[in-house]
Structure 1
Amino acid sequence: MKTERNRESGLELLRIIAIILIVSHHLVVHCPFDLWAEPFCLKRLFFQFLYRASGKIGIALFLLITVWFLADKEISLRQAAKKIWSLWSILFFWNLSSLVLQFIIDPTSVIASTWLDLLFPLTRNEWWYVSSYSVFMLLLPFVRTSLQKMGKRPHLQLCILMTVLWGLLRFVPGANLGMGLNFVGFCYVFTLLAYYKWYSLRLSRFALNVAGLLGLFAIVIWNAVLSAVWVGDADNLPIYLEPVQDEWSIPILAVSFALFGLFRGDAFPFKDSESYCFGIIWCLSDY
């Protein structure tokens, strides 16, 4: 019982870290500061990390936590539809609340697309994560059953194929191959993590540390070298940084999975991590 509690509290702490990473990413992306116009220095390198990599690591952490529990859970299509309906209801409530406030402040800003966003927040991709999660949940009963029935060897071959297509080949700047902020990424991560969990693969704490450090090293060095030698229009630089810090890239997944592995189960070093969770929450709320 104690081990389960520690595991849960470790993942709760990891969720808080993921939130901080994502908020930091959005603060840099949506601020008026022109990051790419700045001369290369350590400060710019730090903000470059927040500009892209931090948010992608946070997203991957949330998804890893979610699919870890879904991998062993039998979910029917009807259950998935109920989850999506519940999610839509929550979105509708908050969308309606914001729409009323928007109408009071500026009635002319409420147009046809505003009403469509209110009624169809999932299909119009108003929030990409929620839309991708909904499609993933609808496909999950079939994806999970198919992966279980194919067995260990075909499952491993599929993992290797996916990693080559959406991992190695993405090191080519501008490559996409259907991968991005969509449900394909969710299925990709689920396939990899399901194999890891179902077939009892376990990495030592040392191996997790090495994987995380290598992923972080790749992100930092790639950013530092390209930024230092880049000539020409700085606005084009992010295209060549995407291979190591885009969503679901190998370095991003390496760092995210290393953190996930270290914060769950016996690898998590703190015995009473609830105090750490509440401490961080208190600090954030006080700030």
Structure 2
Amino acid sequence: MVRLIAMVMIVLNHSPWSAFSYVDASAGYTQRLGMTLIISFLSNWGGVGDCLFFIISAWFLCDEEQSYERNISRCWHLEKQLWFWSLSLFIGCLIVWHMRGEMPEMKTLASLGLKTMFPFAANLWWYPTSYMLFLMACPLLTHGLRLLTRERHAALCVGLLLIFGWTPASVFPLDMSYSIVLFFYLYVLVCFVKWHMPFLYKSRSLAYALLAFGLTVGLGSQLIIECVLPNRIVWTMWMNSPRCLSTICIALAIVVMATTAKPRYSRVINYVAASTLAVYLVCTHMFANLILRPMVSPLHPDIASVGKIVAMAAIIYIVSLIIDILRHWIFSWTVDCNINQQNDWIIDSLRRLYDRGVRVVGKFMNTPSGCNPGK
């Protein structure tokens, strides 16, 4: 359920709010402020959604016995999903361009085609690429954090928060951006909470306090800024920066409240939640802009237009989930029918490649200086 909530935040953040004139410059201050506040409060949850989506995974990863084999299997499962959506959305782009009688420049088309064939390596979507890289480093990172004492781990968390946690991205970018570095940063914090602060992740009252703090700082600062700048939306303050403390507090509070609630198991919700990444893949792809921006640009700055954009976001959300659920069902009896054999072959191939690399490096290290290793 938490994944579904996180993806609602992300899809609202990536809706084409900037594609239409959301403020009437001739309107009064109150009317202009009202529109920017509504859109700001709807669209600036992307950082919380990103943070929440990762913390859900990190919350359980940090307590399981880390295994490269298990993480490689996760990466392969994710890569197949990326291939399906990258090819489907690329074909969708070609159809839209053909129907409109326009084609992009060859450079743009070639770049999108290359990213379509290699979605992970070409970083077509930052989140799955960074997450797969993180999974490969996670066993080593977890082992290193386990070696730290509670005091050293706490000092590391305090240092990271002092550097990255209180400065919004629009003021101090600090070059963390959206990458594997962000996941390392969040994972260090989550591990400390899970390993050394049981009083926090077992207490709903503390979770409510974290939520109140995060919302007060995030929404309060947004309100102040919009009152000063009623004609424009500020997108990258605390609420839309996944590394900021207020965002982390909100995401962490939601996870704690979910994990401390009365256990309720639903196969339907779990099955649907497994496809939530598809919503992100669709709403952040060029295809979504090609479809939505021409529909949004003629809208007038009023509440009805805001409702239409929210309805578009809901349609994308529901349709993406339905298609990915169908993909998952089809893959279960086609592509994934021999999933164990696929995983074993990939792991064995990587192990042989690793052993060969170690032998080559060892051979060069044992070569006397001044000698030609090729002779």
Scaled by the length of structure 1, the TM-score of the pair is 0.78
Tell me the alpha carbon deviations over residues 224-262 of structure 1, each in whole angstroms, 9 at most, x when there is no partner.
Answer: 22222238xx55x627x6245422211111111111111
Tell me the distance in 1 between the aligned counterparts of 2:149 and 2:24.
Answer: 48
Of 162, 165, 181, the residue aligned with 1:184 is 181
Q: Structure 1 26/36 Cα, relative in aligned 2: closer, same or farther at 3 Å? A: farther
Q: Structure 1 253/276 Cα, relative in aligned 2: closer, same or farther at 3 Å? A: farther
SS in 2 for 1:58: helix
Identical-pair percentage: 24
Query: How far off its partner does 1:165 sit?
Result: 1.0
Matches within 5 A, 1:157-236: 157-168=155-166, 170-171=167-168, 173-203=170-200, 204-230=203-229
Of 33, 40, 43, the residue aligned with 1:41 is 33
Q: 5+ unaligned residues in a row in structure 1: which ranges?
A: 1-12
- Residues matched between the structures, number: 262
Tell me the alpha carbon deviations over residues 101-152 of structure 1, each in whole angstroms, 9 at most, x when there is no partner.
Answer: 4445546557321321122212322111111111211211111111011222
Letter in 1 for 2:47: K
Q: Structure 1 272/105 Cα, relative in aligned 2: closer, same or farther at 3 Å? A: closer
Matches within 5 A, 1:85-96: 85-96=76-87
Equivalent residues of 1:244, 1:250 under 8 A apart: no
Of 235, 242, 249, the residue aligned with 1:247 is 242
Query: How far off its partner does 1:178 sit?
Result: 2.7
Equivalent residues of 2:2, 2:255 under 8 A apart: yes
SS in 2 for 1:27: coil
Letter in 2 for 1:207: L
Tell me the distance in 1 between the aligned counterparts of 2:267 and 2:80.
Answer: 33
Matches within 5 A, 1:25-36: 25-27=13-15, 29=17, 31-34=19-22
Scaled by the length of structure 2, the TM-score of the pair is 0.61
Of 2, 15, 28, the residue aligned with 2:3 is 15
Larger radius of gyration: 2
Q: 5+ unaligned residues in a row in structure 2: which ranges?
A: 274-316, 320-375
Query: How far off its partner does 1:28 sit?
Result: 5.1
Q: Structure 1 271/248 Cα, relative in aligned 2: closer, same or farther at 3 Å? A: same
Return the structure number with greater helix share: 1
Partner residue in 2 for 1:5: none
Tell me the distance in 1 between the aligned counterparts of 2:259 and 2:146.
Answer: 24
Tell me the distance in 2 between the aligned counterparts of 1:100 and 1:255.
Answer: 38
Matches within 5 A, 1:42-61: 42-52=34-44, 54-61=45-52
